[in-house]
Structures are given as C-alpha cells and as structure tokens.
C-alpha cells in the first residue's frame, strides 16, 4: 500500500468487509519485520488500485498518525 506522496506504508494483511453488502470497509496494514506495527485504514481512503498496488488519497504523515492496532 502506498500513500498519495508515493511512500510505501506497509502491506495489506487483512480486509474487513461489511457482511450485508459484502464490500470492504477497512484494511489492516502491517509494517515492519520483527516488531510489526499494524494500522487500520478506512476503505474510503483508497484512491486507486493497480494490478499489485493500492494507493491512498492521504499522505504518509496522516497514515502515521493513525492509532496502532493490535490484532487478535
């Protein structure tokens, strides 16, 4: 996943979907190797999807300000 300023911000680890509409609502993004940091990104932030890349409509500093997410 890439920010609008074209910085790689992490990899999609999970997609959260609305069970009624079967549409994606959020993405869990993992960043790092040993001590992985996770963030939840709203699907509304997705600006463009290429064959193997997802681009957000926000810059990296805004993404970095998202609270950390602790997966189960």
CB 69 within 8 A of CB 40: yes
pLDDT tens-place string over residues 32-71 = 877 789 999 999 999 999 988 999 999 999 999 999 998 6
Beta-strand runs (E) in 1-72: 11-18, 23-31, 37-42, 46-49, 54-56
pLDDT tens-place string over residues 6-38 = 999 999 999 999 999 999 999 999 988 777 899
pLDDT of residue 71: 67
Cβ within 8 Å of residue 49, ≥6 positions away: 55
pLDDT of residue 44: 96
- Structure token pair of residue 55: 């681009």
């Amino acid at each position: 996943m890439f920010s609008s300023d074209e910085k790689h911000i992490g990899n999609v680890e999970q997609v959260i979907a609305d069970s009624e509409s079967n549409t994606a609502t959020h993405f869990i993004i993992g960043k790092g190797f040993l001590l992985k940091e996770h963030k939840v990104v709203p699907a509304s932030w997705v600006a463009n999807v290429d064959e193997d890349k997802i681009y957000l409509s926000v810059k990296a500093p805004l993404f970095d300000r998202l609270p950390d997410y602790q997966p189960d």
